Amino acid sequence: MRLDDEAESQHVEDRRGAGGFGLRTGGVGIGTVIVALAAAYFLGIDPMLLLQGAGSLQAPPQQAQQQAGPAATDEMSVFVRKVLGNTERTWDTVFRSQLGQQYQPPTLVMFSGATQTACGTGQAAMGPFYCPADRRVYIDLSFYDELRQRFGAAGDFAQAYVIAHEVGHHVQHLLGVSDQVDAARRRISETQANQLSVRLELQADCFAGVWAAVAQQANQQLLEPGDIEEGLRAAAAIGDDRLQRQSQGHVVPEAFTHGSSEQRVRWLRRGFESGNVERCDTFGTRQL
C-alpha cells in the first residue's frame, strides 16, 4: 500500500505500556461476548472461560481515564493512524453516496497486554475486536507478528484488512445490524446463534472489501500489485475450519462463529469487486 500522502486519523488512542485493567461489574454485555468469541476464534480458547469470569473484577476508578499525549511516531502506529484515516474518509463517502447518511468514525485503541473497555477487559490473546458499547476498535499490535508468523499472512494490506474488518463491525453498529443480531441471539439455540455470528463476521469481511474498492477508486495509487491477494490470504488464514484444524485436529462446522476460509475469501472479494454495501447482505442469502 502507498500511504505516504494519506492523512492520519485523529481518533487513535495509544495505551501501549499503560498496563491492564480489570472488568467492570454489572454483568456480561454483547461486547464481552464478541471478545470471547474472538478468543475462541483466533486461539481456540474456550469462550465460556472468559464469559464466566466477566464482571468478577472491578477497575480502579483512577485508572479508567487515559492521559492524552503526542502521537507516537513509530512505524506501526503511523501505519495504523493512516489506515484508520483512510477508512474514515472512505466510509464518509460511502455513507453519503450509497446510504444517504452521515458516518461517525470509531476510535481505535492501541494497547499492550490488556486494557479496560466498556465491554470488559480486552486482552492481547483475544486478537483485535470491536466494542459497540464505547464504539472503539481495540488492537494489540503484537497481533501483526502472530498474523505473519502463525498464520503466514504477511504484508501491509493484510494488516490493513484487520483494521478494516473491525471498522466493518462499527459500520454494522451504526446501521443497527449488530443490535438486531444481538436481540435474535437471545431467542435461539447456540447453534443458530453461531450461524448468525458467521453471517455478521462475513458481512464485516465484505464491508472491508467495499472499503478497499472505494478507497482505490478515490486514489488509484493506494493499492499496489499483490495487495488484494495479501488480504485474501489473511482472510483464508483465519477461517474457522483452518483454525479448528490447527487447534483440535478436526473441523466442527456447527461451532463456526466467523466462517470458513472459503467463505471469508468469497465475501471479502465480493465487497471489493462490487464496492457496494448492498452486495454485502449476508443475512438475506441462503448460501454463504
Q: Is 6 a domain residue?
A: no
DSSP conformational letter for 7:
P
Q: Is 3 a domain residue?
A: no
Q: Is 208 a domain residue?
A: yes
On the 0-12 / 13-18 / 19+ scale of CB atoms within 10 A, 106 is buried
Q: Is 287 a domain residue?
A: no
Give CA–CA dist 288/285, Å, rounded. 7
Q: How far is CA 141 from CA 25, 92, 152, 259, in A?
A: 27, 26, 16, 24
Cβ contact 204:177 at 8 Å: no
Q: Check residue 272 and give its pLDDT.
A: 96
Q: Check residue 110 and give its pLDDT.
A: 97
Q: Check residue 287 and give its pLDDT.
A: 85
Q: Check residue 19 and give its pLDDT.
A: 54
Q: Is 180 a domain residue?
A: yes
> Which residue stretches of the chain have pLDDT < 70?
19-70
Residue in 114, 127, 118 with CA at minimum distance from that of residue 31: 118
The size of the chain, in residues, is 288
Q: Check residue 17 and give its pLDDT.
A: 82
Q: How many domains does the chain have?
A: 1
Which CATH number goes with the domain that contains 241?
A: 3.40.390
pTM of the full structure? 0.81
Q: Check residue 280 and give its pLDDT.
A: 97
Q: Is 5 a domain residue?
A: no
Domain ranges, residue 175: 12-280
Tell me the pairing of strands 120-123 and 114-117: antiparallel
Tell me the pairing of strands 136-140 and 129-131: antiparallel
Q: Is 7 a domain residue?
A: no
Q: How many CA atoms lie within 13 A of 286 on its CB side?
A: 0
Q: Check residue 69 and give its pLDDT.
A: 56
Q: How far is CA 161 from CA 71, 215, 239, 254, 269, in A?
A: 22, 13, 14, 26, 12
